[in-house]
């Protein structure tokens, strides 16, 4: 069986992946970099279309990935040991999918071979997120993740 038929995300658990494989799994959707609101009573998470100040909303990339935690203390750095806390991630997130033994979507760059596919079909926050600077009240910016859920 070739590596293509049996790629690393199918052969390995999240905790077995190398740092390079772990990083490669991220689809670059930018959804986790949107501000979220948590219901104090139910714990339910609502996503907004307001991006973290460090997200480049034209490219969907963090402007300072290496120093992100220092610059934005609220930034959540995903780690395989916290997999049981991944429920707040969008259902399309590759880390969540793999942690739930699900397949990556056809638009994921590891399947399509192109990191632009996700942006072309509108599953990423490009052209959808707005900057913190222009946002005002977060409650006015709650969105449904359904618009990011093309299969």
Please, what is the minimum distance in Å from the beta carbon of residue 105 to ligand SF4?
11
- Residue from 17, 89, 104, 129 touching ligand SF4 (CB under 6 A): that is 89
Q: Among residues 14 and 29, whose Cβ is nearest to ligand SF4?
A: 29
Q: How many residues touch ligand SF4 (CB under 6 A)?
A: 21
Interaction between residue 95 and ligand SF4 (CB under 6 A): yes
Taking contact as CB under 6 A, which single stretch among the options 39-47, 93-101, 130-138, 142-150 is the one that binds ligand SF4?
Answer: 93-101
Interaction between residue 93 and ligand SF4 (CB under 6 A): yes
Count of helices and strands (H, E) across the chain: 6, 5
Strands (E), 8-122: 34-38, 45-51, 55-56, 61-62
Restricting to residues 60-79, which ones interact with ligand SF4 according to CB under 6 A?
62, 68, 72, 75, 78
Please, what is the minimum distance in Å from the beta carbon of residue 30 to ligand SF4?
5
Restricting to residues 1-60, which ones interact with ligand SF4 according to CB under 6 A?
26-33, 52, 54-55
The pairs formed by 91-98 with CB atoms below 8 angstroms and a separation of 24 or more are 91/145, 91/149, 92/27, 92/29, 92/31, 92/123, 92/145, 92/148, 92/149, 93/27, 93/29, 93/31, 93/32, 94/9, 94/25, 94/26, 94/27, 95/14, 95/25, 95/26, 98/9, 98/14, 98/25
Please, what is the minimum distance in Å from the beta carbon of residue 61 to ligand SF4?
8
**Counting beta carbons within 10 angstroms of the beta carbon of residue 94, is it exposed (0 to 12), middle (13 to 18) or buried (19 or more)?**
buried
Residues at the interface with ligand SF4 (CB under 6 A): 26-33, 52, 54-55, 62, 68, 72, 75, 78, 89-90, 93-95
């Amino acid at each position: 069986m070739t590596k293509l038929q049996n790629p690393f995300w199918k052969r390995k658990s999240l905790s077995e992946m190398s740092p390079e494989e772990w990083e490669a799994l991220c689809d670059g959707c930018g959804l986790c970099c949107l501000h979220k609101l948590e219901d104090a009573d139910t714990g339910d998470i609502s996503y907004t279309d307001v991006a973290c100040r460090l997200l480049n909303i034209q490219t969907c990339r963090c402007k300072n990935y290496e120093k992100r935690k220092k610059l934005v203390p609220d930034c959540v750095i995903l780690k395989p040991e916290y997999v049981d806390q991944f429920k707040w991630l969008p259902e399309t997130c590759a880390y969540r999918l793999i942690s739930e033994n699900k397949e990556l979507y056809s638009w994921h760059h590891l399947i399509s071979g192109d990191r632009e596919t996700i942006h072309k079909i509108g599953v990423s926050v490009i052209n959808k997120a707005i900057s913190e600077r222009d946002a005002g009240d977060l409650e006015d910016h709650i969105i449904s993740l359904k618009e990011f859920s093309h299969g």
